Amino acid sequence: MSLPEVRATTVLAVRKNGSVAMGGDGQVTMGDIVVKGSARKVRTLKDGRILAGFAGAVADAFALFEKLEEKLDRYPANLTKAVVELAKDWRTDRYLRRLNALLAVADAERLFLIGGDGNVIEPDDDIIAIGSGGSYALAAARALTAHSDLDAAGVVRTALGIAGDICIYTNKDIVVLELEGS
């Protein structure tokens, strides 16, 4: 007997007018059953200087967060180098390459999407979205960024709410974090 596919998550990060925010919904589903409605999928790292969120398997994401923190310790002033080194390890290490997750990572200067296939993507428009409802949140955030006066946190909160209205794997139990000083 195999377990149903676990679907969960919408995580969105936005940089707008010098501020950076990242948020995630709280829903975790297995097949067509909601098994948790208040999961926390975004967190701060490195004394609040880095925001990170995940989509995918929770244990895998936590293992990747640990590896990311190791890379951030090794390259403390260079998020780009840290995420590239994480992606290299993730793709080539026998254990890590089996991990099923995507990461969104941001500091005051940059946003990155990191995948186990070696991808490290820095978006052109300072918006990243991952997870089941990521496409909905991305579209909403792009529209809100261009056509509203909302700050980064407001865009994230509103776009995640819109995704929660559309995506059955996304709810409206939203947590939004902002970088200190942004």
- For 87, the domain range is 6-170
SS3 182: coil
Active-site choice (9, 10, 158, 170): 9
Residue 21 lies in a domain: yes
Report yes or no on 132 lying in a domain.
Answer: yes
pLDDT bracket for residue 81 (50, 70, 90): very high
- Give first-to-last CA distance, the chain, whole Å: 49
For residue range 99-126, list pLDDT tens digits in order: 777 899 999 999 999 987 888 999 999 9
* Number of domains the chain is built from: 1
- The Cα 62–Cα 54 span in angstroms is 9
Residue 176 belongs to some domain of the structure: no
Q: What is the pLDDT at residue 154?
A: 98
Give the domain CATH number at 32. 3.60.20.10
Q: Quick check: is 9 catalytic?
A: yes
180 within domain boundaries: no
